[in-house]
């Protein structure tokens, strides 16, 4: 990069002449290097699936955390810097509990997502800090129905019927564009998400490194047991 651009390159609070914040763009690059995550909304809930990308046979797959419970009706999958994601998840959990204690009701999914994104945005505006290098797929069910949001290091948010983050986003989103349909069952949504994740994964999807989280209007957010998730993955991509 040219020396004249270094001031814009290093400072989070300075726009470049063409209106860019380079540090925010670099944070997005950190997300693109992360493992692929996908989320799919179905008739009564939302499915989140992540590829943990186990790089060594010595690693215990269950020690890699990519899906988190925020509240009983909200869960989250992360791509990018997991340590950054944990800090955001901890804050989101506190916000959810404060809302319940204050108003005696569960926080709405969109309200929580906005609070997380407002917090992320402040880290693009003040000196001495850096943006969070993580993108969150936040899934939940409230009185408005199933909701799925994608958040950006800049603090931007977008609601989707199906979405993906991480290194395989383009392949997964292209698959969703062609194959997503309304009013799917939970199993259909899981199978669609696994196919999309497989499209976005370099090489064959590893059943041992795949984690599935589900939230439904009739059941709290939970992570499907490893043996059952392996069964789903083998059923969908076992023959590929």
Taking the chain, what is the end-to-end CA distance rounded to the nearest angstrom?
Answer: 43
Q: Is the pLDDT of residue 1 over 50?
A: no
- Alpha carbons 43 and 152: distance in angstroms, whole number: 26
pTM over 0.85: yes
pLDDT over 70 at 2, yes or no: no
pLDDT digits (tens, 9 = 90+) for 109-167: 999 999 999 999 999 998 888 999 999 999 999 999 999 999 999 999 999 999 999 99
Mean pLDDT of 7-22: 85
Question: Which residues contact residue 42 at a Cβ distance below 8 angstroms, ignoring those fewer than 6 apart?
Answer: 146, 183, 184, 185, 186, 188, 189
In tens, the pLDDT along 217-227 reads 999 999 999 99
CA distance 179 to 176: 5
| Per-residue b or e along 209-239, where b marks 16 or more CB atoms closer than 10 Å to that residue's CB | bbbbbbbbeeeebeebeeeebbebbeebbee
Could you please state the CATH topology (level 3) that the domain comprising 36-237 is classified under.
3.60.20
Above 90 in pLDDT, residue 27?
A: yes
The predicted structure's pLDDT at residue 208:
86
Which residues participate in catalysis according to the annotation?
35
Band the pLDDT of 61: cuts 50, 70, 90: confident
Q: Distance between CA atoms of 11 and 124, rounded to whole angstroms?
A: 10
pLDDT of res. 6 = 66
pLDDT tens digits, one per residue of 151-180: 999 999 999 999 999 999 999 999 999 999
Closest residue by Cα to residue 124 from 220, 237, 28: 28
Q: What is the C-alpha radius of gyration for the chain, rounded to an integer number of angstroms?
A: 18
Q: Are 153 and 133 in contact (CB under 8 A)?
A: yes
């Amino acid at each position: 990069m040219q020396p004249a651009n270094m001031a814009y390159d290093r400072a989070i609070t300075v726009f470049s002449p063409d209106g860019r914040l380079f540090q925010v763009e670099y944070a997005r690059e950190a997300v693109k290097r992360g493992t692929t995550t996908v989320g799919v909304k179905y008739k009564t809930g939302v499915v989140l699936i992540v590829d943990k990308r186990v790089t060594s046979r010595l690693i215990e797959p269950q020690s890699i955390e990519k899906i988190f419970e925020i509240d009983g009706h909200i869960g989250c999958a992360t791509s990018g810097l997991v340590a950054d994601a944990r800090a955001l998840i901890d804050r989101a959990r506190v916000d959810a509990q404060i809302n319940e204690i204050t108003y005696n009701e569960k926080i709405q999914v969109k309200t929580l997502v906005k609070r997380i994104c407002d917090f992320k945005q402040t880290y693009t505006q003040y000196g001495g800090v850096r943006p969070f290098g993580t993108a969150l797929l936040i899934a939940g069910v409230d009185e408005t129905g199933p909701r799925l949001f994608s958040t950006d290091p800049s603090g931007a948010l977008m609601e989707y019927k199906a979405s993906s983050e991480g290194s395989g986003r383009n392949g997964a989103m292209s698959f969703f564009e062609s194959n997503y349909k309304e009013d799917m069952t939970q199993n259909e949504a899981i199978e669609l998400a696994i196919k999309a994740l497989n499209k976005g994964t370099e090489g064959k999807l590893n059943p041992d490194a795949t984690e599935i989280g589900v939230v439904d209007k009739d059941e709290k957010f939970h992570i499907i047991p490893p043996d059952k998730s392996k069964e789903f993955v083998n059923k969908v991509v076992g023959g590929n």
